[in-house]
Amino acid sequence: MLVALLRGVNVGGATRVPMADLRRVVADAGYADVRTHLNSGNVLLTSAQDPADVARTLRAACAAAFPVQPDVVVRTRDELHAALAADPFLDRDDDPAHHHVVFLPGTEPARVPDVEVVAPEALAAAGRELYLYLPHGMGRSRLGARLTTGARPVGTARNLRTVTALAALADDLEAAARDR
């Protein structure tokens, strides 16, 4: 079970991508068990392909089908669970809207970018992800704004509530596939 995370889909008034159309494009690209979660470019699918190949295929398929050309980051179900477990800020509070994971493309370990971080906000790297603690939310975050300007790591962010939901959906879909 794989989860494809599309960057910038249906966020901030940008070009809209209907999730039914996204599911069709993903299925037409040859993937099975296609599901979307929320209205922001979270796609669950099954494939025997390498996640990097899935990301390339979906990037091209979306660019051909939609007026946006989103970056696509793909993680396995197990990688989502590992990302949840690696969050270094879980001891700060239990509000999942304050915790964000930036999923970076590629296979290189994440590195903390050279960006100013002012407490109480926090930034850390673990595995291939960056972790943000934003107690006032992403929309009001100076750190979040700094990470999206200049030559910063390009990835796609999800709050902990969404990552947790995606991991649970991936678990359910994998269990259903085993039961077939």
Tens of pLDDT, residue by residue over 5-19, are 999 887 665 668 899
Please name every residue paired with 42 in a beta bridge, in sequence order, or none if there are none: 5, 37
CB atoms within 10 A of CB 33: 16
Least confident segment among 17-21, 63-67, 145-149, 151-155:
151-155
Residue range 154-177: mean pLDDT, rounded: 93
Q: Are 40 and 22 in contact (CB under 8 A)?
A: no
**What CATH number should be reported for the domain whose range is 2-77?**
3.30.70.1280
Between CA 123 and CA 43, with CA 84 as vertex, the angle to 5 degrees is 105
pLDDT surpassing 80 at residue 150 = no
Map out the domains of the chain as residue ranges. 2-77, 79-164
The average confidence (pLDDT) of the chain is 92
Task: Look at residue 145 in the predicted model and tell me its pLDDT.
Answer: 87
CB atoms within 10 A of CB 43: 26
CB atoms within 10 A of CB 14: 12
